[in-house]
A and B are shown apart, each in its own frame.
Chain A
Amino acid sequence: MLKQCEGSHAVAATVALCRPEVICAYPISPQTHIVEGLSEMVRDGTLPGCEFINVESEFAALSVAIGSSAAGARSYTATASQGLLYMAEAVWNASGLGLPIVMTLANRAIGAPINIWNDHTDSMSMRDAGWIQLFAENNQEAADLHIQAFRLAEEVSLPIMVCMDGFILTHAYEGVDIPTQEQVDAYLPPYEPRQVLDPRDPVSIGAMVGPEAFTEVRYLAHAKQMQALELIPQLAAEFQQKFGRDSGGLIRQYRMEDADTVVIALGSVLGTIKDTIDDLRDEGHKIGVLGITSFRPFPLTEIRDAVSHVRRVVVVEKCFAVGIGGIVSRDVRSAMRNRPQPLYCVVAGLGGRAITKDSLHQLFMTAIDDKLEPLTFLDLDWNAVNRELERERLTRRSGPIAENLLRDLGVVAARVG
């Protein structure tokens, strides 16, 4: 049923339809509305047969999910930013143990400086942790991806992070088609674990593994992600068949036919990019966009094939690896191995900085002229940066950087653009 609701509530309602049995929650913006919604549904009986546990930290939240999942219960939690980092050890543990936990990540920047707004630094910090990472473009897809995530996680016995942009999606009101319980039940069978803690058939889980088998265990984690690479398009196709909606998959392409320039991005910024590309197409430029839905496993072949005919690739990413540059662009570069086309990395939207159509239009025009630097920071305030660098050159005790910049700008968290 089409419902005008907040992204978080759409996700909460959809997760509830997936019949989770244990939900553990610790508050952190911007994911809190999701678990608030679920706690209400557990309390008022809308979501029966589910334990909702308020824990004392994100580390505990995922640890409770590890316990419940290993004991055979479908388990869910949600987090963001610092919370994901605080649970980092358990993040690796959940995937290492092969437990199909589904976790919503309301993407948010990581401090210091503390910042509650959206970028992708949090999920990227865990990109190698062995979780499947799916990125939602809009709230409909965020909701739909959760249904697919439970199915996929349990089929390959791996945990999945469903990443949705904090605030931009979690707090946005959009029309979302919330499916019926019958539809979800027809798509998502009850959880049938590959390993379970049960006194009727005792097993030890989490033994110490030395060099004699560690490589093989790690390789099998990789092999499972490769299986997921095959499964994700199949599950998306089946989803479309059952729900009548195109959601999920590995990548999505928009106006890619005959494109000379392709923009690659993840998440909600794809909407603004598509609008910009429509304008550029109207102006006669051959430009398209490729959205990556499955960042882990990374669809190397699909991306390689999709960009084979283009002249240049622009990766717009809401994260970067300090000391080297882009994160997504490096993975895209592996997809373009031995290909001559230039690849431009654009770091944009950090800590909630708005990515505007005007800025993107200008950026893509520069790219079309092949005048873009290999690494660009969109809308970077060079004056502010240079002032601070100069201050540090002149004064030994130059003071805390973030506070210096804020003082120079003379604003207090008022401008996002």
Chain B
Amino acid sequence: MTATTIKFYQTGTHTVGNRLLDPEHRSVQADMRRTNSLNSGHRACQGCGEALGARYAIDAAMQATDNQLIAANATGCLEVFSTPYPETSWQIPWIHSLFGNTAAVATGIAAAMRVKGRSDVRVVAQGGDGGTTDIGFGCLSGMFERNDDVLYICYDNEAYMNTGVQRSSATPGAARTATTPAVGDAPGNVFGQGKNLPLIAMAHEIPYVATAIVSELRDLEAKVKRAMEIRGARYIHVFVPCPLGWGTNAWDTIQIARLAKETGVFPVFEAERDRIVSVSKIRKQLPVEAYLRPQRRFAHLFSPKPNTEAIAHIQALADRNIRRFGLVDPAVEAAIAAPVATGNP
């Protein structure tokens, strides 16, 4: 196969809607036959990262399965904003049962498809970070352990947004939520031990684990497509900024997501079993401040006076991600680390 250089004619953006590409290189969203699995008219907030991530992920899953797809959905924003009775935005068979049982419901659907001889029908389970890392964790771990044929997608906006922005186990240290207010000596969320679901998923040695981010939607599509080529338990963790909960501008969702990646705050990678097989490198490394400053949930770190200790803590976590996942190209890293050349007059 010969390599083709792709030119983005819509330059200056990382757009996925570029229809000037060869059809085979076009994104699912650029395809006129895209299914609009999560159709317009839903009640998500402006700039909702979750709605964006879900539409791209499910459209890609539909394309990968020739539309033979069933979804189970945890209670949460995605469930509430997509199905206000008697309306629904879903163009696929979709069930919402409870907050904490989505992985198990999906297991049941997959079992039914197997027993009915409909192995062409594939199952996706989806939930927010609360429904995944907290209340749904038991069922999710069970689904992983049994290696049930389910793709579980977590849309992580780092708190319980549907109930009014309360802390979850995915909320980062120092972030202000309704239950970790920015008051006292250590404002915002405590710096705990963290609960890295993608790594926990990898510890189950399931066939496929990936993280993705809504600023790299082609990458998300590719990962969903890859996941649908595999049988067994698969997990994709999508980082989805929430303008309401994070105190960011609706039009900055993509920018915030990009900054999370470029600072090393959110590592974007792909793993098979317990082994990382690819990493989306940081293009231009930035200090975490660039990511934190635009978000009102971190405003107390900068005003009235800078909380250098907390910012340094977050930077240390990002640096650890960069080292751990190899987010910066070694050559680039060496260039950054090298002393400024002065020998050339």
Query: Is the beta-carbon distance between B142 and A56 smaller than 8 angstroms?
Result: yes
Spot the interface stretch: A137-145, A206-214, A244-252, A382-390: A206-214
Query: Is the beta-carbon distance between A60 and B112 smaller than 8 angstroms?
Result: no
Q: Which residues of A contact B67 (CB under 8 A)?
A: 199
The 10 closest A-B pairs by CB, nearest first: A67-B108, A206-B96, A71-B112, A56-B142, A63-B101, A63-B104, A68-B108, A73-B112, A67-B105, A204-B88
Q: Assuming A55-B104, A63-B101, is B145 touching A197 (CB within 8 A)?
A: no
Bound CA–CA A89/B114 (angstroms): 27
| Beyond A60-B104, A67-B106, A197-B95, 10 additional pairs, beta carbon < 8 A | A21-B116, A22-B111, A56-B138, A59-B139, A67-B108, A90-B98, A198-B93, A199-B92, A202-B93, A208-B84
Q: Which residues of A contact B111 (CB under 8 A)?
A: 22, 51, 53, 64, 67-68, 73
Q: Which of B95-146 contact A (CB under 8 A)?
A: 95-98, 100-101, 104-116, 121, 138-139, 141-142, 145-146
Query: Is the beta-carbon distance between B72 and A67 smaller than 8 angstroms?
Result: yes
Q: Which residue of A22, A63, A97, A199 is within 8 Å of B69 (Cβ)?
A: A199
Q: Which residue of B lies closest to A26 (CB)?
A: B142
Indicate if B90 sits at the interface (CB-CB under 8 A).
Answer: yes
Q: Which residues of A contact B73 (CB under 8 A)?
A: 206
Interface size on A, residues (CB 8 A): 44
Q: Which residue of A59, A69, A204, A213 is within 8 Å of B83 (Cβ)?
A: A204
Indicate if B79 sits at the interface (CB-CB under 8 A).
Answer: yes
Give the number of residue pairs across the A-B interface with Cβ within 8 Å. 161
Q: Which residues of A contact B330 (CB under 8 A)?
A: none
Q: Which residue of A lies closest to B142 (CB)?
A: A56
Q: Which residues of B contact A49 (CB under 8 A)?
A: 115
> What's the minimum C-beta distance from B63 to chain A, rounded to whole angstroms?
13
Indicate if B91 sits at the interface (CB-CB under 8 A).
Answer: yes
Indicate if B80 sits at the interface (CB-CB under 8 A).
Answer: yes
Q: Which residue of B lies closest to A69 (CB)?
A: B108
Query: Is the beta-carbon distance between A202 and B90 smaller than 8 angstroms?
Result: yes
Q: Assuming A60-B142, A90-B98, is B93 touching A203 (CB within 8 A)?
A: yes
Q: Which residue of A64, A72, A213 is within 8 Å of B116 (Cβ)?
A: A72
Query: Is the beta-carbon distance between A71 and B108 smaller than 8 angstroms?
Result: yes
Bound CA–CA A69/B95 (angstroms): 11
Q: Which residue of A21, A73, A207, A210 is within 8 Å of B96 (Cβ)?
A: A207
Indicate if A416 sits at the interface (CB-CB under 8 A).
Answer: no
Q: Which of A173-211 contact B (CB under 8 A)?
A: 197-199, 201-210
Q: Which residues of B contact A55 (CB under 8 A)?
A: 104, 107, 142, 146
Bound CA–CA A59/B101 (angstroms): 7
Bound CA–CA A212/B142 (angstroms): 37
User: Could you name 29 residue pairs across A and B whose Cβ atoms are closer than 8 Å?
Assistant: A21-B116, A49-B115, A53-B107, A53-B108, A53-B146, A56-B145, A60-B101, A60-B104, A63-B98, A63-B104, A67-B105, A68-B109, A68-B111, A70-B109, A71-B108, A71-B109, A75-B108, A89-B101, A198-B93, A199-B69, A199-B70, A202-B90, A202-B92, A204-B95, A205-B94, A205-B96, A206-B95, A207-B96, A213-B85
